[in-house]
Amino acid sequence: MPAHDVLIIGAGLAGQRAALAAAKAGASVAIMSKVHPVRSHSVAAAGGINAAISVDDDWRSHAFDTVKGSDFLGDQDAIEVMCSEAPDEVLHLEHIGVTFHRNDRGEMDLRAFGGASMKRTAYVADITGQAMLHVLYEQLMKHHETVERFEEWFTTSLLLDESGSCSGVIARDVRSGRMEAFTAKNVILACGGAGQAYKPTTNGLIVTGDGIALAYRSGAPLMDMEMVQYHPTCLVETGILITEGARGEGAHLLNANGERFMEKSAPNKMELASRDVVSRAEQTEINEGRGVGPGGAGISLDVTVVPRKRTLEALREIVNLGRDFAGVDITREPITIRPGQHYIMGGVKTDVDGRTPIEGLYAAGEVACVSVHGGNRLGANSLLDTLIFGRRAGEHAAARAASMPLPHLDGSAQLRRDVNAIDATIARPHQGRRVSEIKNDLGETMNRHAAVFRDEAGLQEALATIGRLREEADSAWIDDRGTVFNQDVLGALELGFLLDCAETTVVAALERRESRGAQFRTDFPERNDEEWLKHIDVSLGEEGPLVSYSPVTITQWQPEERKY
């Protein structure tokens, strides 16, 4: 049985940063990923990473923008940690080889991003995530003696000892189908978000909420699950993201009358208001008949106002995306976009060291909720979140490991259960529905009822549909009966994870009877600090999701009306 001080599930930016920090602190580390690490979804991150690097900036200004962006639901102690540690973290990245864009003076260039009071987003053209992920992977190679890599291994469950502490995982080697129990003094979940609960989404097929569901099923509470971010600029047909960097460079949003409609809801920040505000404004234009494109279902994003040379230099990836996926040369004509599911602010509840309420279990990155994003994440704050809290979780877990012996754990019973469950799924008769059909229905349901605008009736309908889909998933069949790279059976497991994430999202959205950040309830259109300035936590009870509340930490910024 493999045994380590720190076992990290997930090799995106959060996982790799955690691995490097734990290894540097002297721990024996294993990092596991269901895909090759550089295929982790962090590779898709485009626009950049925030840090108050400029001499004219101050981390407190970054922190206040983040608090305001969160609609005052973010925990200010965690936001202070993230923003104050940001400049050193970004400079560290540069020192280890990330080729951030530089300006004519040779300094690190910074671009404007939504909800920020000044330019503070460092970037590598519009492939920032890719540049960062590859550099971190290079560093992991350097630490090959202390960091063991389990690439293309899929975690199926967490192992808890008799005292309830997390002491390992069960995982399946995707290449061979072999299952194994892993022992660890600490497990860090860095499994990313759950965007595939929606259709369409900007998130890749692998973003299926595994870590959130694994923790939830083991008794860890989830927090802020109702807060789901819709990004304002996604291609109408496919949901593919056009980075906020486009608006950061000056692109305009126009309705069918050619009006820059953001004047109405954000006269100061215009297109660079926070994402929840811009998405709502776009959806309102579409709903009120001022949309563009087929069925008036879109909005025009006009990048032609940005100098062509600059677009080709700083936004080259979206030039390719526009051409390949919409047949549009964005340097010459507007492209049609609309709001689309992009990010989940909620996740496994942690403290600022990544600790969950389960001893020995940590979480960092999009899987976690610390909560620095509260009701709405500012663009370019997620990459920062993955690095700061990935590092802190790695350091804390390594320190904890130094003071304890390896747990003596017999994972054989859980291993048998997981093997049997997978065998039973593979053996299901070809009756009932396919996994892919159920997933499709789930995504469309969430996109209809748990989107930019929500209400009680729609959310109740979503909950009922999720219940029905759960029953169907229990007997859903798959084609592949083999063991080698059986992605089909993993898809069935992922569907179960997605259903947990969707259910907790809808339960929390029903519970929050107010509008704040990304949650806009048309039946409760006002923010109500008196009753709802609190986090909604969801845990798994005997009968299903159980709701409780936890306070929002306020240090220096009292809630006020949010205007852009």
Ligand X SMILES: Cc1cc2nc3c(=O)[nH]c(=O)nc-3n(C[C@H](O)[C@H](O)[C@H](O)COP(=O)(O)OP(=O)(O)OC[C@H]3O[C@@H](n4cnc5c(N)ncnc54)[C@H](O)[C@@H]3O)c2cc1C
Catalytic positions are: 275
Binding mask 40-79 for ligand X (x = CB under 6 A): xxx-xxxxxx------------------------------
What's the closest the beta carbon of residue 320 comes to ligand X, in angstroms?
14
Q: Which is nearer to ligand X, 352 or 459 (CB)?
A: 352
Rounded to whole angstroms, how far apart are CA atoms 544 and 181?
27
Rounded to whole angstroms, how far apart are CA atoms 150 and 33?
6
Residue 434 burial (CB count, 10 A): 17
Question: How does DSSP classify residue 102?
Answer: B
| Residue 363 half-sphere exposure toward CB, CA atoms < 13 A | 31
Rounded to whole angstroms, how far apart are CA atoms 398 and 281?
46
Q: Which is nearer to ligand X, 44 or 540 (CB)?
A: 44
What's the closest the beta carbon of residue 526 comes to ligand X, in angstroms?
29
Rounded to whole angstroms, how far apart are CA atoms 62 and 80?
9
Question: How does DSSP classify residue 553?
Answer: P
What's the closest the beta carbon of residue 150 comes to ligand X, in angstroms?
8
Annotate 462-494 with DSSP letters as a single string: HHHHHHHHHHHHHT-B-S---STT-HHHHHHHH
In the set 32, 38, 235, 301, which binds ligand X (CB under 6 A)?
32
Q: Which is nearer to ligand X, 207 or 442 (CB)?
A: 207
Residue 470 burial (CB count, 10 A): 17
In the set 229, 279, 356, 386, which binds ligand X (CB under 6 A)?
386
Q: Which is nearer to ligand X, 248 or 458 (CB)?
A: 248
Specify whether the CB–CB gap between 504 and 545 falls below 8 A.
Answer: yes
**Binding residues with ligand X: total (CB under 6 A):** 44
Q: Which is nearer to ligand X, 171 or 409 (CB)?
A: 171
Which residues lie across from 155 on neighbouring strands? Answer: 171
The answer to whether 223 contacts ligand X (rule: CB under 6 A) is: no
In the set 66, 70, 167, 202, which binds ligand X (CB under 6 A)?
202
In the set 70, 381, 486, 515, which binds ligand X (CB under 6 A)?
381
Annotate 293-307 with DSSP letters as a single string: SGGG-BEEEE-TTS-
Rounded to whole angstroms, how far apart are CA atoms 205 and 208?
7
The answer to whether 191 contacts ligand X (rule: CB under 6 A) is: yes
What's the closest the beta carbon of residue 524 comes to ligand X, in angstroms?
28
Please choose, out of 173-181, 278-286, 321-329, 380-388, the segment that lies near ligand X by the rule CB under 6 A: 380-388
Residues 6+ apart with CB under 8 A from 389: 14, 82, 350, 352, 354, 364, 365, 368, 370
In the set 158, 301, 321, 380, which binds ligand X (CB under 6 A)?
380
The answer to whether 29 contacts ligand X (rule: CB under 6 A) is: no
Residues numbered 318-357 forming contacts with ligand X, rule: CB under 6 A? 343
Please choose, out of 6-14, 20-28, 505-513, 545-553, the segment that lies near ligand X by the rule CB under 6 A: 6-14
> Phi and psi at residue 420, in whole multiples of 5°?
-60, -40
Give me the residue whose beta carbon is nearest to ligand X.
Answer: 12
Residue positions counted in the chain: 564
In the set 365, 394, 411, 496, which binds ligand X (CB under 6 A)?
365
The answer to whether 9 contacts ligand X (rule: CB under 6 A) is: yes
The answer to whether 160 contacts ligand X (rule: CB under 6 A) is: no
Tokens representing 403 are 């003071």
What's the closest the beta carbon of residue 113 comes to ligand X, in angstroms?
8
Q: Which is nearer to ligand X, 246 or 254 (CB)?
A: 246
Specify whether the CB–CB gap between 311 and 331 falls below 8 A.
Answer: yes
The answer to whether 155 contacts ligand X (rule: CB under 6 A) is: yes
Specify whether the CB–CB gap between 275 and 230 falls below 8 A.
Answer: yes
Measuring CA to CA, which residue among 305, 286, 302, 309 is closest to residue 335? 302
β-strand pairing of 299-302 with 252-254: antiparallel
Residues numbered 464-523 forming contacts with ligand X, rule: CB under 6 A? none
Binding mask 129-148 for ligand X (x = CB under 6 A): x-------------------
Q: Which is nearer to ligand X, 41 or 516 (CB)?
A: 41
Q: Which is nearer to ligand X, 275 or 400 (CB)?
A: 275
Rounded to whole angstroms, how far apart are CA atoms 371 and 221?
13
The answer to whether 15 contacts ligand X (rule: CB under 6 A) is: yes
Rounded to whole angstroms, how far apart are CA atoms 48 and 182?
35
Q: Which is nearer to ligand X, 192 or 458 (CB)?
A: 192
Dihedral in degrees, nearest 10, Cα atoms 475, 459, 375, 47: 60
In the set 35, 253, 303, 538, which binds ligand X (CB under 6 A)?
35
Strands of 391-465 (E only): list them. Answer: 453-454
The residues of the shown chain that bind ligand X, judged by CB under 6 A, are: 9-15, 32-35, 37, 40-42, 44-49, 128-129, 154-155, 190-192, 202-203, 206-207, 210-211, 241, 343, 365-367, 380-383, 386
